[in-house]
Structure 1
Amino acid sequence: MTKTVEFYFDLGSPATYLAYTQLPRICAETNSQLTYIPMLLGGVFKATGNASPAMIPAKGRYMFQDLDRYAKRYGVALNFNRHFPINTLLLMRAVTGIQLRQPERFQAFVDCLFTALWVEGKNLSDPATVAAVLNEHGFAPDGVLALTNDETVKAALKDNTETAIKRGVFGAPTLFIGNQMFFGQDRLDFVEEALRQV
């Protein structure tokens, strides 16, 4: 029986970016299905009373040092984005819209945005910068913007976020294997272990 990893994510989380770089390999090696579920981390924080570690200066400094250690371990690029934290509402609506309307382009879309944020350090709070990134990767900015205003897309992101909260999600990344919840990219070893269990 194929196991499924449900990956609740928001582009604005550097820890989520790191998990994103590793999950496809883990799922391939364990013959598991990876399901991406976009959510709005700001909505999760508001509902749960949680906040970004970056809001506490000492914790924020440590977090980025620790994430850098993991990036080196994984062999992936990670650069601190000086615009962090950013409001990801429009970005996550766009991600949700692409997932719903152009699923065949979803992976490429998420790839280009994660790279822009956490490798290139671009300011994706700036519409002109977002448009430039999308153009560079073959996405029509006007079409993507239209998706962010689509009521079905808005509702889907809201529903995903509300479902996440009901399931006990308080931050990102959060992963589920059945009813087992795993929070944080530093728990991927437990995710892999659970997937290997018969």
Structure 2
Amino acid sequence: MAKSCEYFFAPQSPWAYLGHERFVALAKQYGVQIDIKPCDLGKVFNVSGGLPLAKRPAQRQAYRLVELKRWSEFLQIPLNLHPKFFPVPADAAAKLIIATRLAHGTDAALNVASAVMRAVWAEERNIADPDTLAAIAQECGHDGKSLLKSSETTSVQSEYDRFTDEAIAANVFGSPWYVVDGEGFWGQDRLDFVERAFATLA
């Protein structure tokens, strides 16, 4: 059986953005296949007790900014603490990533996911805008308009719904979330543990 890791995330998540490239590199290093599963974090929050950012207590919101700044500086990954287009609906972006996987495979989907997250957190772009999403896909070497059209199909929506249901079934409550051999790891700050888990896979 091939070594694999389920990767649940929301494209608008700054923590997924900060961990994405490191996670992809670790999977490649250990020969682990990534099962990429963008999901609807709002629905996950609804059943797991999570709150959207605007509804969190002030002290939690303030500390989130401290941590984002710390991690951005530590990892040397550019990140705007107050991006122009955030909060932002991410369903369309998630479905673009799924459409990319269906048309071009996991590596291409991971690349588009990286570009989408970078667009929010470093490039001040609106990932809820169809033209922006098509442009991002085009910049990744794909036919952006064709992929965008594919992302609007019922088959892609079904995959998105399925990934969200699987996230809920796996007790996911945040983004990113990695599942290795049945064990869940929440957050990019758990990647050291993910690496240890990768090392033990047969």
* Alignment match of 1:97 (pick from 80, 96, 99): 99
Q: Amino acid of the residue matched to residue 74 of structure 1?
A: L
Give SS of 1:8's match.
Answer: strand
Counting only pairs closer than 5 Å after superposition, residues 31-180 of structure 1 correspond to structure 2 as: 31-53=31-53, 55-56=55-56, 57-80=58-81, 81-103=83-105, 105-180=108-183
Give the paired residue count. Answer: 198
Closer, same or farther in 2 for the Cα pair 1:82/1:100, shift >3 Å?
A: same
Q: Distance between the aligned counterparts of 1:19 and 1:54, measured in 2?
A: 23
Name which of structure 1's ranges 117-126 and 153-162 shifts more when overlaid on structure 2: 117-126
Paired position in structure 2 for 1:187: 190
Shift in Å, 1:136: 4.1
Identity across matched positions, percent = 28
Q: CA deviation at 1:7?
A: 1.1
Q: State which drifts further: 101-110 or 59-68.
A: 101-110
Q: Tell me the residue number matched to 1:8.
A: 8
For structure 2, the residue ranges without an aligned partner over 5 or more in a row are none
1:85-133 Cα distance to aligned partner (Å, 9 max, x none): 2111111111111111222632332232122112112122233433444
Shift of 1:147: 1.6
How far has the Cα of 1:186 moved from its partner?
A: 1.3
CA distance in 2, matches of 1:63, 1:125: 23
In structure 1, the gaps of 5 or more residues are none
Letter of the 1:34 partner, please give it.
I
> C-alpha separation between the residues in 1 aligned to 2:26 and 2:135?
32
Shift of 1:176: 0.6
TM-score by length of 2: 0.85
